[in-house]
């Protein structure tokens, strides 16, 4: 079902949107619940539907995918009969007033007395603002995640995608890593020493830097949890060779 916004009108303090598919007008559960004065509009209308399952029938409503600032999600929309039926079942103080208001509006739309309007410039700007705000929130989430991986490639990747979310480009470049990296164990086997010895030497000489490697999240042996470990780039090999020669 393709829904087109055809009318946006004020009912009290609620901006009520009327959609159309074919010749049938529709309102979303969220909008209908707001007009009826529910404190939790969509949830309260959905509860009303659960108590009255016949409202799920095509004669009254349908489930469609609609896009909002939080993304595409399923929502229930009510046709004209569904709108009237929900307002009859609702026990809110505004139900009768809204039923009279929406009946008059829909009759006016059918007669052509009320001009059908597509999305106004204000609504377009409003949707654009919502989309931009959603991007900002996503970028903030990525930045918060990045702060949990201080000094790792994960931090670089997450920060890079945060800038892409805001600008459409990776203004902070994704990390470029060599094809081959070495663990302390692999380097230890190469030089005939323990992994612990490699760790002591690289710590003592401050070699755990972005020049010689990067931090990664690895799976701990015998456990499902992840631990941070430093993997070394190939350029560490001649440095270790000289250091180990001096120690020997």
Q: Which domain holds residue 162?
A: 124-167
Within a domain: residue 175? no
User: Do residue 46 and residue 109 come from a single domain?
Assistant: yes
**Domain assignment present for 173:** no
Most confident range (mean pLDDT) of 98-102, 111-115, 155-159 is 98-102
Our count of domains for the chain comes to 3
State how far Cα 219 lies from the chain centre. Answer: 28
Query: What tens digit of pLDDT does each residue of 72-106 get?
Result: 788 999 999 999 999 999 999 999 999 999 999 99
Q: Encode pLDDT of 11-28 as tens digits.
A: 998 888 898 888 899 999
Tell me the pLDDT tens digit for each residue of 169-209.
888 877 766 668 899 999 999 999 999 999 999 999 999 98
Same domain, 27 and 113: yes
Q: How long, in residues, is the chain?
A: 248
**85 shares its domain with 20:** yes
Q: Do 113 and 21 share a structural domain?
A: yes
Q: Is 79 inside any structural domain?
A: yes
């Amino acid at each position: 079902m393709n829904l087109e916004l055809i009318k946006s009108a004020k009912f009290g303090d609620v901006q009520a949107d009327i959609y159309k598919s074919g010749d049938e007008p529709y309102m979303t559960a969220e909008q209908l619940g707001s007009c009826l004065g529910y404190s939790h509009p969509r949830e309260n209308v959905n509860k009303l539907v659960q108590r009255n399952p016949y409202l799920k029938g095509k004669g009254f409503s349908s489930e469609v995918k609609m896009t909002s600032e939080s993304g595409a999600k399923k929502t229930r929309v009510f046709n004209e009969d569904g709108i009237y039926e929900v307002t009859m079942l609702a026990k809110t103080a505004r139900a009768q007033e809204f039923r009279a208001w929406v009946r008059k509006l829909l009759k006016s739309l059918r007669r052509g007395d009320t001009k059908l309007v597509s999305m106004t410039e204000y609504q377009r700007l409003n949707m654009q603002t919502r989309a931009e705000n959603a991007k900002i929130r996503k970028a903030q989430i990525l930045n918060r995640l990045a702060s949990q991986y201080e000094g790792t490639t994960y931090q670089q990747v997450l920060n890079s995608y945060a800038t892409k979310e805001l600008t459409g480009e990776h203004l902070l470049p994704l990390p470029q890593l060599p094809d081959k990296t070495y663990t302390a164990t692999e380097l230890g086997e190469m030089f005939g020493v323990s992994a612990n010895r490699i760790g002591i030497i690289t710590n003592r000489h401050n070699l755990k830097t972005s020049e010689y490697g990067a931090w990664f999240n690895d799976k701990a042996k015998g456990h499902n949890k992840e631990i941070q470990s430093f993997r070394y780039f190939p350029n560490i090999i001649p440095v270790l060779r000289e250091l180990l020669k001096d120690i020997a």
